[in-house]
Amino acid sequence: MAFTLVQAGATLKLVDTAGTPSAALTLPTNIGLSTASSRTPRFAIFGKYVVIVNSPNRPLTVDGNGDVRVLSPRPPGSVPVVSAQSGGALSGSYKVKQTFRIKDTAGNIIAESDFGPESAAQAVTAQYLRAASLDLSPDSVSSSMLYRTTTGGVVYFPWVELNGNTQTSIQDDLSDAGLSLVAAAPLGSAPDLVTIASWRGRLWGGDRVDIDHLRYCEVERMSAWPRSNDILIPPQGADTTGIRALAPRREALGIGRRNHLFQVTGTSSSDFRSIKVTENVGIESQESVVVYRDTAYFLWKDGVYGWDSGGIKCLSDGDAGRGNVRSWFTTDSYFNRDEFDIAVGQIDPVRNKYRLLLAAAGQATLNRWVEFDLNTRTWWGPHQTAAFTPVSAIVVPTANDVLEPMLGSSTGFLWEEQATRTDDTATAIDFDVDTKYHSADTPDIQKYWDNPSVFTIAQSAGTLTMTPSLGEIDDRADTPMSVDLTKTRQQLRRLGLGKHVRFNLRENTAGQDVVITGYELPYFEIGRR
């Protein structure tokens, strides 16, 4: 069954198909969640589990029942003491290692720790092999697993499992022939991950300490992270942030540094390799990354980019001469560029848009958003709501598996769009738009601007305020005019003299629709002065 996991303050909660959050989930012993802005929670789906990293002090897994577990138990720290005991039938020389396991209620292994220290070799002659001084786990584990070599061997095989977390010794005389034919699989503890992604049946992540190294787990074994599963993402030591973001596409895993984009290709540990895609584009924020229909959308310093099988394109530069909003991201007029690293991206699958939450110029909270229409390739915004301050964006499946985009607020609520034209339940949505400056392509010639005509789709009621600004570009606004929204066409008063003219369009009545299809602006050239 589909479920949604969110972090609310220092707690984890499940969100049901109606958008209702559960009570706080119980965290494992000695596990806490940070609420620092630098420790944003990051999630990946792996089978029936959600993996969360960065905000917890250790990577965690959560299932649909709300059970929270550590991704990798800590390995045993003590050396098993191995001895010979009379009464058995085993002969040979053996070594032993210990691990810890976490299982579900059906007995399936969810996680297994790395191996503990190797014991000394112990010879037995028609005796039991005894392992004592076994370590007990500080984590909530289901069992201890002991591995043993064959006589004089170096390869370890599963030997005996001790249920629970209380038994510290065991003796057994299982013969070499009775051991499993399959040797112990590679193990290893998950590093302190700051990023996480699921790709090629594995989890991938960036290490908080080894910031230039991409780590990955064994295939279909999310708790096993051998140290050899490591790919260096250059340039090593180039900055203090290293790997900033991951973008898993169908045939390539994108790795974003501050000024570089790499991709990992391959199908197994034997042929995984990193390839530089570009050294002129990076990723500013992991949360800005959304992969939708095999295209990765993300924010860099000068705008929003799309990366697909055809390469990288700056979407905010526009297509075919339209939709160029580069100034949104390269000037200080619209957004706080120092806060690009907290930007949050979201795909709205209902309206087929990429939504990006940003901080307004001079501010440090995500109180604005813009949208890129994937169908028309046009940009919309900036938008603002007076109802709340967004901090996150998610997509929640309903009971019928319909995907509903929602925004999380700083006060702990989830918000979704509604058909009613109100901000929250009764506050008006402030329709406030400035048109471009019109100069009739003769910006140095004085003009007389005649009666403008405004064309709208008729509403049952409503008035739009249309305020002209005439003269030079920095001239102040003139007397406002009223547009009757119940009409499809209305001619307004003469505007007067000026080289340029532009309009501010404003309507902020709760529940009022406004659809402007165009306006006509007649003029006469007077000449230079």
The pLDDT of residue 257 is above 80: yes
HEC profile of 448-502: EECCCEEEECCCCCCEEEEEEEEECCCCCECCCEEEECCCCEEECCCCEEECEEE
Q: What is the DSSP letter of 152?
A: T
pLDDT band at 401; cut points 50, 70, 90: confident
Amino acid identity of residue 129, one-letter, is L
Domains of the chain in sequence order: 81-178 (no CATH), 431-527 (2.60.120.260)
The pLDDT of residue 118 is above 90: yes
* Residue 477, pLDDT score: 76
Cα separation, 430 vs 437, whole angstroms: 22
The pLDDT of residue 474 is above 70: no
- 92-109 pLDDT, tens digit each: 999 999 999 999 988 999
Cα separation, 461 vs 150, whole angstroms: 87
* Residue 511, pLDDT score: 87
* Residue 39, pLDDT score: 94
* Residue 405, pLDDT score: 92
The pLDDT of residue 527 is above 80: no
* Residue 472, pLDDT score: 78
* Residue 1, pLDDT score: 59
Kindly state the average pLDDT of the residues 496-524. Answer: 92
Kindly state the average pLDDT of the residues 31-50. Answer: 94
- 199-244 pLDDT, tens digit each: 999 999 999 999 999 999 999 999 999 999 999 999 998 889 999 9
pLDDT band at 426; cut points 50, 70, 90: confident
The pLDDT of residue 2 is above 90: no
pLDDT band at 529; cut points 50, 70, 90: low
Contacts of 141 (CB under 8 A, 6+ apart): 73, 100, 101, 102, 113, 165
Which uninterrupted H or E stretch holds 505?
strand 500-507
Q: Where are the beta strands (DSSP E) in 21-77?
A: 42-46, 49-53, 60-62, 68-70
Kindly state the average pLDDT of the residues 401-413. Answer: 89
Among candidates 335, 292, 339, which has minimal Cα distance to 316? 335
Contacts of 212 (CB under 8 A, 6+ apart): 232, 233, 234, 236, 237, 242, 243
The pLDDT of residue 320 is above 80: no
Query: In this structure, how many other beta carbons lie within 10 angstroms of the beta carbon of residue 518?
Result: 8
For residue 77, give the 3-state DSSP assignment. coil
